């Protein structure tokens, strides 16, 4: 388990073929938006630009580690709501310690 929570966002780019890719759906810009949002909220979450998470058809995929919290089909306009959810999960975990 990581020392601090990690948010993994798939930035896999697939060239050619019938399957979509998360990077082709804007995940690189979404990752940058998460970094800004975590900094603004002073949340100690490491953002990891990950390889494929096997959810290509429903991506961009975003996963909180430790989980099990996963968001599929994430868009730029979803970043604030996902950060709210991550903050709530982290607060609940801290309260349970």
Nearest to 52 by CA among 27, 77, 78: 27
- Dihedral over Cα of 50, 22, 90, 46: its sign: positive
Other CB atoms within 10 A of residue 76 CB: 13
Question: Which domain covers residue 40, as residue numbers?
Answer: 6-96
Give pTM, 2 decimals: 0.87
**91 within domain boundaries:** yes
Q: Which residues pair with 40 in a beta bridge?
A: none
**1 within domain boundaries:** no
Q: What is the pLDDT of residues 18-27, one digit of tens each?
A: 788 889 899 9
Q: What is the CATH number of the domain that holds 88?
A: 3.40.30.10
How many domains would you assign to the chain? Answer: 1
**68 within domain boundaries:** yes
**58 within domain boundaries:** yes
Distances (CA, A) of 73 to 52, 65, 69: 14, 18, 14
Q: What is the pLDDT of residues 62-73, one digit of tens each?
A: 999 987 789 999
Report pLDDT for 28: 95
**20 within domain boundaries:** yes
Upper half-sphere CA count for residue 91 (Cβ side, 13 Å): 7
């Amino acid at each position: 388990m990581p020392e601090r929570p990690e948010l993994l966002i798939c930035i896999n780019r697939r060239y050619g073929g019938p399957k979509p890719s998360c990077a082709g759906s804007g995940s690189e810009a979404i990752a940058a938006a998460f970094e800004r949002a975590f900094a603004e909220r002073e949340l100690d979450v490491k953002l990891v630009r990950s390889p494929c998470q096997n959810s290509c058809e429903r991506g961009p995929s975003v996963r909180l580690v430790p989980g099990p919290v996963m968001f599929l089909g994430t868009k730029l306009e979803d970043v604030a709501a996902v950060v709210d959810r991550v903050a709530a999960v982290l607060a609940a975990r801290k309260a349970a310690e």
